[in-house]
Amino acid sequence: MKMFRSYLYVPGIQEQMLAKAPERGADAYILDLEDSVPLAEKDRARGMVSKALPDIGRRTHAALFVRVNGIGTDQFVDDLFSVADVPLTGISVPKIESPQQIPVVDTLLKEAEKRRGLNAGSLGLIVNIESALGLVHVYEILKASKRIVGVALGGEDYALDLDITRTESAKELNYARQRIAVAARAAEVQAIDMVFPDVNNEQGLITNTQAGRRMGFRGKQVIHPKQVAVVNELLSPSEEELSKARAVVSAYEEGERSGKGAVALNGQMIDRPVFERARRLLSLAKDETRD
């Protein structure tokens, strides 16, 4: 399962932002044809995004996604095929609410792959959960296609659907975040945390990102370039974490060689789950170094 820390949204109608996208340092970019593009500008944005993608792809090794308009909108099919002939990691589809919607997307992506001469399943799919109905069905949605690589929480739309006010602490969204993180783990796809909307509140972003990481999120959507470095750092293992993990692995493996199922390290019991968690952290750090 490929993990990306930061997913930076780039408005598909902003030529300058599209041109500067590869300089922002994100692990993944989502070129947006949905919320950031007025209805009257949808056609122009499609052309701008399809033109910009090859250049962005040449200038960065980051993953490239396009967020299309939702299934059932007049723009959905045109959005998808407008980027079918350019280099792309995958598509992000908003407002998914049931597993029955996924075969519709899957069929169209197969046609797009055929047009480009790609193997079936080459294009990944990020599904966005933005309603109570989508949250109820999230695990079944994630199991509806093998091409699904991630699930993202749309915090603002979810709050709107529940008729609640989103606060800085985001405690009112904890259940949704935790349910998505658990479903993603069970389905073996990446859980992508919600946007933190206050781009001038760095401490709020730090607190929000740390809370998401404790829930199991290893990726986060961001809406401003200055959020990228903060998120990348917070979702990477720190040197202190890596040092502790190495000590745990070393102590446990030494204990195993002595026939012990658990060992003590600095007063803490180290058993198999603690060992596996430490080993997973070290593996994650190696993957990031290779990238």
pLDDT, tens digit, 9 for 90 and up, residues 109-157: 999 888 888 888 899 999 999 999 999 999 999 999 999 999 999 999 9
Report the C-alpha dihedral over residues 32, 37, 204, 94, rounded to 10 degrees. Answer: -50
Residue-level pLDDT at 290: 42
Residue-level pLDDT at 287: 67
Residue ranges of the chain assigned to CATH 3.20.20.60: 6-234
Residue-level pLDDT at 276: 85
Buried residues in 114-148 as b, exposed as e (16+ CB within 10 A): eeeeeeeebbbbbbbbbbeebbebbbebbbbbebb
β pairing state of 219-222 and 263-265: unpaired
Identity at 135, one-letter amino acid code: L
Residue-level pLDDT at 106: 94
What is the rounded distance in angstroms from the CA atom of residue 1 to the CA atom of residue 189? 7
Residue-level pLDDT at 1: 64
Displacement of CA 229 from its chain's centroid (Å): 16
Residue 86 carries which DSSP code? S
- Spans of the chain, pLDDT less than 50: 289-291
Assigned superfamily of 6-234: Phosphoenolpyruvate-binding domains (3.20.20.60)
Residue-level pLDDT at 243: 74
Ordered DSSP codes for 119-160: PTT-SEEEEEE-SHHHHHTHHHHHTS-TTEEEEEE-HHHHHH
**Ramachandran category for residue 240: left, alpha or beta (phi over 0 → left; psi -120 to 50 → alpha):** alpha
